[in-house]
Amino acid sequence: MTYFLVAAILGLLLRFYPILGLDFNYRFVVHGHSHIALLGWVYVALTTLLHFCFLEKKKSSRTYKRIFWFTQATLIGMLLTFPFQGYALFSIVFSTLFLIVSYVYVYHFWKNIDLKYKHSKGLKCAKAALIYMMISSLGPWALGAIMNSLGPQSIWYRLAIYFYLHFQYNGWMILAVVGIFLFVWEQHGLEIPKKSFTHFFLSFNLGIVFTFFLSTLWTKPPFGFYTLAGFGAMAQLYAFACLWGMIKNQFFELSLTKLQTLLIKLVVAMGLIKIVLQLLTVLPYFSTMAAKYLDFTIGYLHLTFLGVISMALFFFMDYFEMFRISTKSFPWYFVGFILTEALIFYKGIAAWQGWGIFEGQGKLMAWATLLIPIGIAIMLIKNRALT
């Protein structure tokens, strides 16, 4: 959670940059913000949860601790380099080492699965998620070759970044979240029909692969790409329906707190909005619009990261009693999230429709963003008081 606070503070600095005239390299801090958010917050949280849920602890804990602390060293290295030099020698070294140690984690996970979970449907999703994490890393590996041969202005440079982000968000992170949720479901002895799960798993994976074509539509490719992207978006919608069908009648049996129930409902709602936005961008008009007005892309990424993934992590950490999410701290975060999303999408719509931005929009955005690190800081303080 500390990494999440650091990432949120870096994001806050970016929002106040034009208002206060702060003296730093904006692009470098963007790199630091994104790396610490994705790798410091989400990666560490998910790998910790996967270790907690599926691995045999006595045999694997010592090795896991070594992997964990080596991962922390690479993250601190990235935190101390990316905001000050962007992509340069030392930041590239630390990010490369991170990729290598993530492969080591995957190998460690596969070797130490607790045998009592070998038929777990949650484990099946977790394994697939880790495969997508490794697939996503092909993007960063390709960037070096693309920069040296084609340059950063090449469409392949941007496609490599989108390839990484797509398989991180839609493959690794969301499928890992689903896997951990199904673990919780199975631990309560609740049924997951085999046929329904097979339909879900197949359609979800097809959706992950084919929705990557959504990230290529800004290049105005042949019509076949739109067809493949549309198939992927429909497959994800069908997978969402299958998952909902598996859990809707037994959800109340989880015996969750009011806050935990709220968090699950918010994750489902944000996930549905995400899928609807994907379906819209299959249409050439909307895909061109999303590429032209960057605020739509930023809003979509923040919806996925701050809404679907982070709120799911809040639920798991509170459910497993790893980190308490209180009713006093979460509203700060949630209000900050909703306000910033509304302002980001408003800015995109205003640019699209030629409305112009209202006076003080930038300041309002910055002050709304402040609520997010305040909420995270309160969570950390309250948990420190409990220990």
d(CA 346, CA 330): 24
The Cα 127–Cα 145 span in angstroms is: 29
Question: Please, are residues 126 and 179 in contact by the beta-carbon 8 Å criterion?
Answer: yes
Mean predicted confidence (pLDDT) in 258-262: 91
Q: Which of 63, 30, 197, 26 is nearest to 121 (CA)?
A: 197
pLDDT at 94 (0 to 100): 94
Residue 42 identity (one-letter amino acid): V
* Predicted confidence (pLDDT) per residue in 322-343, tens digit: 888 888 889 999 999 999 999 9
Consecutive H or E run containing 145 = helix 138-149
Single-letter amino acid, residue 344: I
Going by C-alpha positions, the residue among 356, 341, 338 that lies closest to residue 297 is: 341
Phi, psi of 359 (to 5 degrees): -65, 135
User: What is the distance between the alpha carbons of residues 334 and 259, in angstroms, rounded to a whole number?
Assistant: 12
Angle at 135 between CA 131 and CA 141, to 5 degrees: 145
**Residue 155 — pLDDT band, cuts 50, 70, 90?**
confident
pLDDT for 319 equals: 92
- Taking 90 as the threshold, does the pLDDT of residue 58 lie above it? no
Whether 152 shows a pLDDT value over 80: the answer reads: no
Average pLDDT over residues 16-28: 87
- Could you tell me the pLDDT band of residue 220, with boundaries at 50, 70 and 90? confident
Kindly indicate the confidence band of residue 386, based on its pLDDT and cuts at 50, 70 and 90: low
pLDDT attached to residue 232: 92
Per-residue pLDDT band for 163 (boundaries 50, 70, 90) equals very high
Query: Is residue 325 helix, strand or coil?
Result: coil
Instruction: Report long-range pairs for 149-157 (Cβ below 8 Å, ≥24 apart).
Output: 155/219
pLDDT band of residue 35 (cuts 50, 70, 90) is: very high
**Helix, strand, coil percent content, the chain, rounded in steps of 5:** 85, 0, 15
Q: What is the pLDDT of residues 66-78, one digit of tens each?
A: 999 999 999 999 9
Q: Estimate the crossing angle of helix 26-35 against helix 57-85, to 10 degrees.
A: 170
386 class by beta-carbon count within 10 Å (0-12 exposed, 13-18 middle, 19+ buried):
exposed
Would you place residue 318 in the very low, low, confident or very high pLDDT band (cuts 50, 70, 90)? very high
Which range of 151-160, 173-182, 288-297 scores highest in mean pLDDT? It is 173-182
Calpha distance 206→179 (Å, rounded): 17
Average pLDDT over residues 150-172: 87
Residue spans of beta strands (DSSP E) within 242-293:
none
Task: Give the sign of the dihedral formed by CA 4, CA 136, CA 153, CA 302.
Answer: negative
What is the predicted pLDDT for the residue at 385? Answer: 64
In 10 A of CB 349, how many CB atoms?
15
Mean predicted confidence (pLDDT) in 279-304: 87
Predicted confidence band of residue 146 (pLDDT cuts 50, 70, 90)? confident
Say which residues have a Cβ less than 8 Å from residue 282's Cβ, sequence separation at least 6: 214, 217, 226, 229, 230, 233
CA atoms within 13 A on the CB side of 68: 14
387, pLDDT greater than 60: no
| Chain segment 164-213, per-residue pLDDT in tens | 999 999 999 999 999 999 999 988 888 888 888 999 999 999 999 999 99
Whether 309 and 177 have beta carbons less than 8 Å apart is answered as: yes
Residue 50 has pLDDT above 80, yes or no: yes
Q: Which residue has the higher pLDDT, 86 or 369?
A: 369
pLDDT in tens, 93-134: 999 999 999 999 999 999 999 888 888 999 999 999 999 999
pLDDT category at 353 given cuts 50, 70, 90 is confident
Say if CB 274 and CB 308 are below 8 A apart.
yes
3-state secondary structure of 121: helix
Nearest to 38 by CA among 304, 379, 341, 340: 304
